């Protein structure tokens, strides 16, 4: 019982490290070779995890081998456009200038209903509103609407909004984010002074953030919890 428990923990850590080295893509954005490697890793880890008679190295060594293979393929993709097209494929235009490309749908084994479903997922109810629809190599569909159907932006009205920048977490669950304070050129004394305006100390805050305009959001931790 304890052996299975320990083996599961070891394999979990190994798989977690391997997946971390593979990058930060969402499942829906994995390339075909990445999805294949992920499935194989899961399968290789499950065998020594459940069968104590199988040496744990029988799972770890192939998993590390797949990691090396993944890094090698990723490097080839970076260096060669032709290899990238062979391994990952090429984007395909499903709708071109408002017209559905039937041949492209057939080649990608895409039905009209599936295309409509994907468009509805992007809040597009009418096929007639689409200028271009491109099936990416990850399986996602990128949609470019017709000019008269696109959402207006300030630039359309000659308006130039002020620069907003990004927000920084200064305190999370009572813990001071020193690196973020340094990034905005502030120190703990400044932080304490600002948080005291909310009648609390930084260590008592659930979260403290500052946006690009210098506006601070602060919320106190629930003392009961």
pLDDT tens, the chain, 225 aa long: 677 778 788 888 888 788 777 766 655 566 777 778 888 888 888 877 777 777 888 888 888 888 888 888 888 888 888 888 787 788 999 999 999 999 999 988 888 999 999 999 999 988 889 999 999 887 889 999 998 887 888 887 888 877 777 889 999 999 999 999 999 999 999 999 999 999 999 999 999 999 888 899 999 988 654
**For residue 157, is it within any domain?**
no
54 and 108 share one domain:
no
**For residue 160, is it within any domain?**
no
**For residue 156, is it within any domain?**
no
**For residue 154, is it within any domain?**
no
**For residue 25, is it within any domain?**
yes
pTM (predicted TM-score): 0.63
8 and 53 share one domain:
yes
Tokens (6 digits) for 157: 């009205």
Long-range pairs for 68-71: beta carbons < 8 A, 24 or more residues apart: 69/37, 70/21, 70/22, 70/33, 70/34, 70/37, 71/21
Residue 198 belongs to domain spanning: 168-220
**For residue 13, is it within any domain?**
yes
Q: How many domains is the chain built from?
A: 3
**For residue 130, is it within any domain?**
yes
């Amino acid at each position: 019982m304890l052996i299975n428990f320990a083996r599961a923990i070891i394999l979990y850590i190994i798989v977690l490290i391997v997946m971390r080295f593979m990058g930060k893509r969402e499942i829906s954005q994995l390339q075909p070779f990445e999805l294949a490697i992920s499935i194989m890793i899961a399968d290789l880890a499950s065998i020594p995890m459940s069968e104590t008679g199988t040496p744990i190295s029988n799972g770890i060594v192939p998993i590390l081998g797949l990691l090396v293979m993944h890094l090698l393929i990723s490097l080839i993709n970076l260096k060669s456009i032709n290899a990238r097209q062979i391994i990952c494929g090429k984007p395909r235009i499903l709708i071109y200038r408002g017209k559905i490309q039937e041949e492209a749908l057939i080649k990608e084994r895409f039905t009209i209903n599936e295309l409509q479903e994907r468009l509805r997922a992007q809040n597009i109810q009418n096929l007639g509103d689409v200028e271009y629809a491109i099936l990416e190599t990850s399986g996602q569909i990128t949609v470019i609407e017709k000019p008269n159907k696109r959402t207006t932006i300030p630039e359309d009205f000659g308006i130039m909004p002020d620069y907003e920048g990004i927000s920084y977490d200064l305190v999370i669950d009572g813990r001071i984010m020193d690196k973020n304070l340094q990034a905005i050129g502030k120190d703990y004394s400044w932080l304490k002074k600002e948080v005291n305006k909310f009648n609390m100390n930084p260590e008592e805050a659930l979260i403290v953030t500052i946006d690009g305009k210098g506006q601070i959001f602060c919320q106190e931790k629930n003392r009961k919890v």
